Structure 1
Amino acid sequence: MLKTLASYIQEYKVPSFKAMFYVTLEVIMEVLIPYLMSDLVDKGIANGNMNIILKTGLFMILASIFSLIAGALGGKYASIASCGFAKNLRKAEYKQIQDFSFSDIDLFSTGSLITRLTTDVTNIQNTYMAIIRACVRSPLMLIFALFMTFKINSKLAFVFVFAILFLSIVLYFVSTRVHPKFKKMFSKIDCMNSSVQENITGIRVVKSFVREDHEREKFSHTSDEVFSLQRKAEKLLILNSPAMQFSVYVSILLISWFGAHLIVSDSMTTGELLSMFTYTINILMSLMMLSMNIVMLTMSISSAQRIAQVINHKSTLTSPVNGATKIENGTIDFENVYFNYGHADEGYVLENFSVHIDSGSTLGVLGATGSSKSSFVQLIPRLYDVLSGSVKVAGKDVREYDLKTLRDNVAMVLQKNVLFSGTIKENMRWGNENATDEEIMEACRLAQADEFIQKMPDKYDTYIEQGGSNVSGGQRQRLCIARALLKKPKILILDDSTSAVDTKTDALIRNAFMEKIPDTTRIIISQRISSIQDADKILVIDDGKVLALGNHEELLKTCTQYKETYEAQQKGGDFDEQ
């Protein structure tokens, strides 16, 4: 874990060392001041020697100025180093997440990944600043101040040794019991973030079903759990303060008592006793700061482990070394495919699944809800990998292709596809970042989107809100189809992606495909037989198995399920035609 995180300090090593250097200089100047004060009192004030008073006073002022400047510079470089370190961690996590498969994202959960990118990185940033500043300052101040107290009076200095031992026991007790609670707390924060994300994303559904009270109650419950765990941790953490106060006051009382006796017996001077009091504060404040940093480190261990888990996680889907970078055609073959989503106890999602799709042909896919239609098509661009068997494109197993090449040649349009905040042109260029305005307009005409775009105030420069919330469901689907067409793919998959458009527009889209992209293999999943009945072949899936394969006329004769679905739709008619 430490090795993983340390590798991302990189170009911020120099600011880190500069911060530690200036902090060391600051501590040396601060430690010198009480020592100089001792000379000022004993040699200057006690003897009425103005020369020593002025000379020593000047040195004390210069030491204070140097300490102030060094402290400011230490803070500056510590900020640069910690912010840069946090930036590198966020970039590393985000880059790794981009390579995650769907299975990997499911493993961590979206809410957890967001927490690891934000809260956890902030914790590490604050901790790193403490390490290169406070965690350097505190031990150095402790060591230097102890050295000076032993130099002044070794017997009296043993008071601090006992104080340090007492506080060390308290800190060990607190840190070993707080860490597990912080670990649980971060897990609950993940759940809370997931709940917030889910609620905001689905706010229209929440409001339409009047479930605001339910969502408030659910969030409140999770928030209360976070509060409970944090309160338990804080109950332990507050032991630091009374233990520290106890040590400070006991140390001052003991030094006052023994110091007074030593002065009376001429074993110690007044100036030395004043210096001891100053060093007492320095030592005990260093211990207090050190205890706070240990608590911060304890909390950050959980964050560090969670960040390292993301960075070190190897994606279940990786591009092969020297993978094929050219796809000859859009031929697809499923050969005895078995697949599930990693839940072995739930059986197979696809079982002994075999089908051949010719390049440039149209395959319609029909099946009841939950029959694994979407699972079938998600294996083609290798969003998931099969458990056994193989999926081939152009006669080659998809696992042999360079992943970017494969996905560039397979365009998928989902029923709930997403548009991103930005103009229509910017959204279209997700399909092809170098697409010209003419190419964008042509793709939109094929997807039957140009007509409604031209009616918008800014046409293709119209701004799309996040998620496409300012366009209708049908418009969003057509824009997503146009975006996929700009990839000029070998294979185009429409996963129930015309469900929100009327049958007339649906037919126009299919006709445009036949005329304009005849060499592209088209897979159309639909619940409406009218959308797929003209396909070259129609695949009927039932419970993850191939139930039937043939054209419309053949299936009406050989497949009971297809025939019953067709007759039911003919009898009832399409809802959007009424």
Structure 2
Amino acid sequence: MKKMAVFLKPYKMSILLVILFVFLQALSELYLPTLMSEIIDKGVVNGDISYIWRIGGVMLVVAAFGMACSIFASLHSSKTAAGFGKDVREKLFTHVESFSQKEIDQLGTASLITRTTNDVTQVQNVLINFLRILVRAPLMAIGGIFMAMTQDAKLSLIFLFTLPILAGTIVFIAKKGIPLFKAIQKKIDRLNKIVREKLIGVRVIRAFNREEQEEQRFDEANKDLTNATLRVNVIMAAMMPAMMLILNLTTVAIVWFGAIQIDYGNMEVGELMAFIQYAMQIMFSLIMVSMVFIMIPRAQVSFDRINEVLAVTPSIRSENEVGTIPEITGMIEFRNVTFHYPGAEKPALTNISFSAGPGEVTAIIGGTGSGKSTLIHLIPRFYDVTDGTILIDGKDIRDYSLDELRKKIGLVPQKSVLFSGTITDNIRYGKEDATEEEIKRAAETAQALEFINEMKHGFDTIISQGGTNVSGGQKQRISIARALVRKPEIYLFDDSFSALDFKTDARLREALKSETANASVIIVAQRISTVMDADRIIVLNEGEIAGIGTHEQLLQSCTVYQEIVSSQLSKEEIA
């Protein structure tokens, strides 16, 4: 809860106003039964109509005052809770942005989405009720007991029996329900994960006629969540009938013993009615507290899950955030680099050493799972090396600011990612202040200008979420244009030409020569035709370098490369 207080600091004044208005509202509600008692005992009994009107008018003013206080209390509690939710979501989102791929893999994308949305909402809802009810309820309970004792001290002894029973019932039911709340949040995570997988992989699911199996997976997770929620609700549903039973029995006891007091002349009818109302206020205040206690366990689970994310320290951090950043020209060097994925039995890369300089094209080729994409991802520090060093311009990349390092890199990922917005927006993602001329030139170099011009709205064509309204090859070319418009010192193409036909691939590589003439270019590819003109080809096999050289050199010296070439080219083409 101390961590929650940090997010509430900006709203101190609103919280104080909530407490003030709730306090005034409680006072007005506590005063109303006393006024009603006076109307009955002095006005109704004596037939004094003017007194009834006068005190009735006072009651009306007091009630209106209490209503106004309630409105202002609700307004400020809502502002505080909404602001708190906004700040926590922003903090979570910003913190998750600093995570390396390791932390994202560890926590899971679906879980991070649930924590940023559902969990924050749970805490926010409790905060609204906490500010209003947990301030008002104690005031109403203590004030109600005091006012009831002023009406009849002996009759107040009834509370010595009923209040402990009421409190014990609340504690018993809450203890039964609390363990289930954590399970519910985990089941929501699982359901979100299944929905997310289904929506992302909808084309594959349809292609393989797996709709029924996916529906079954969803139904199982949905029923599991439903059953857990029902178990909690059944337990919590018992609370209100139990509360009302105790409340009604208390009312019966008050009327029974109050009637005896009236019969003996020790109490007036109006006082008994006021006493009953104070008893209602006391009991209902405890019931309101119990309702908050129903929500608090789940909110506590949610807040723990939020804190779990905020407590994660990113494994990849900038070591040189302040100070002069050396100019990056693009000279890349791998020195005995070894990398393990977290929890993996063997390294994905072992003892990798090579250099790639400005004006050179370095190609990486190898079989599936040989570590090509992993190698590319180490350069922008999506992961950090386990052993060895990666240097840029003679300096360890871990000594650069992450922002400065990544500003100098133009990455085209293996799986093209486009964002909702126009084509211009997606290309400008690489450089925020890119001019229309720069965007057009990048698209032309990426061989995207032709199909963009054929579209009805050209560069203003809207790209749907995930780029589902363009083809794979079009997505790749827009992704390449996004990297080109940045004009970085280092280009990383992670199998970025796989969806292009051979003719477009050749035209694109020819256009790239002039555009990337002064930059370091690393290309991961499967096609021999894509890599054979590279200045340097690195052949990977099971995470190790099997050979380094030009196309001609590797044909003579590297068995793995020879096998790859022979699988793609005929003997005449090789010759």
TM-score by length of 2: 0.96
Superposed, 1:59-458 pairs within 5 Å as 59-320=58-319, 321-322=321-322, 325-344=325-344, 346-458=345-457
User: Are 2:541 and 2:560, in contact at CA under 8 Å, matched by a contact in 1?
Assistant: no
Q: Distance between the aligned counterparts of 2:423 and 2:266, measured in 1?
A: 86
Answer whether contact 2:328 2:408 (CA < 8 A) is retained.
Answer: no
Q: Deviations over 1:395-441 (max 9, x none)?
A: 11110001011011111111212111111111111110101111111
Post-superposition offset of 1:329: 1.8
User: 1:152·1:272 contact (CA, 8 Å) conserved in 2?
Assistant: yes
Q: Matched residue of 2:285: which SS?
A: helix
Cα contact 1:192–1:222 (8 A) shared by 2: yes
- Give the SS at the match of 1:115: helix
Q: Which residue of the partner structure matches residue 466 of structure 1? A: 465
Partner of 2:476: 477
Assess if the C-alpha contact under 8 Å between 1:349 and 1:375 holds in 2.
yes
CA distance in 2, matches of 1:404, 1:394: 17
CA distance in 2, matches of 1:58, 1:198: 64
**DSSP 3-state at the match of 1:7:** helix
Structure 2 match to 1:554 = 553
Deviation, structure 1 residue 535: 0.5
Contact 2:476–2:499 (CA under 8 A) maintained in structure 1:
yes
Give the whole-Å Cα distance in 1 for the aligned partners of 2:484 and 2:515: 10
Q: 1:302 to 1:363 in 2, by over 3 A?
A: same
In structure 2, what is the Cα distance between the partners aligned to 1:134 and 1:261? Answer: 35
Q: Distance in 2 between matches of 1:572 and 1:146?
A: 99
What letter is aligned with 1:41?
I
Provide the residue aligned with 1:17 in structure 2.
Answer: 16
1:435 match: secondary structure: coil
- Code of the aligned partner of 1:483: R
In the other structure, the counterpart of 1:534 is: 533
> Is the contact between residue 324 and residue 401 of structure 1 (CA under 8 Å) also seen in structure 2?
no
Tell me the CA shift for residue 10 of structure 1: 3.8
Structure 1: unaligned runs, 5 residues or longer: none
Q: Verify the 8 A CA contact 1:179 1:302 in the aligned structure 2.
A: no
Instruction: Give the Cα separation in 2 of the matches to 1:40 and 1:440.
Output: 81
Q: Percent identity?
A: 38
Which amino acid in structure 1 is aligned with residue 431 of structure 2? Answer: N
- Corresponding residue of 1:57: 56
- Residue of structure 1 in register with 2:489 after alignment: 490
In structure 2, runs of 5+ residues without a counterpart are none
Shift of 1:89: 1.3
Deviation at 1:53, TM superposition (A): 2.7
> What do residues 2-38 of structure 1 show as CA deviations (whole Å, max 9, x unaligned)?
2222222243332222222212211111110111111
**Structure 1 stretch displaced more, 326-335 or 269-278:** 326-335
Secondary structure of 1:391's aligned partner: strand
RMSD over equivalenced CA pairs, Å: 1.7
Which digits, 9 at most, give the CA deviation of each residue in 1:170-198, with x for residues without a partner? 22222223222110110110111111111
Q: Is the 8 A contact 1:371 1:542 kept in 2?
A: yes
**Deviation larger for 36-45 or 370-379:** 36-45
Q: In structure 1, how many angstroms separate the alpha carbons of the residues matched to 2:511 and 2:483?
A: 14
1:510 aligns with: 509
What is the CA–CA distance in structure 1 between the aligned matches of 2:494 and 2:141, rounded to whole Å? 67
Cα deviation per residue 1:307-331 (whole Å; 9 max; x = unaligned)? 2222332211111243662343211
How far off is 1:343 after superposition?
0.8
- The CA deviation string for residues 178-232 of structure 1, in whole angstroms up to 9 with x for no partner, is 2221101101101111111111111111111111111111111111111121112
Aligned-pair CA distance for 1:51: 4.5
Checking the alignment, whether the CA contact within 8 Å between 2:546 and 2:560 is kept in structure 1 is: no
- Residue 573 of structure 1, CA deviation: 11
**Residue pair 1:351, 1:544 contacting (<8 A) in 2 also:** yes
Runs of 4+ displaced beyond 4 Å: none
Deviations 1:39-83, CA, capped at 9 Å, x for gaps: 222222223344533332222121111112111222222222211
Q: Deviations over 1:229-279 (max 9, x none)?
A: 111211221221122012112111111121111112222221111111111
Q: Take 2:314 and 2:452, find their aligned partners in 1: how far apart are those partners?
A: 39
Q: Give yes or no for contact 2:365–2:524 (8 Å, CA) kept in 1.
A: yes
Aligned residues of 1:323 and 1:401 also touching (Cα < 8 A): no
2-side partners of 1:177 and 1:109: how far apart? 30
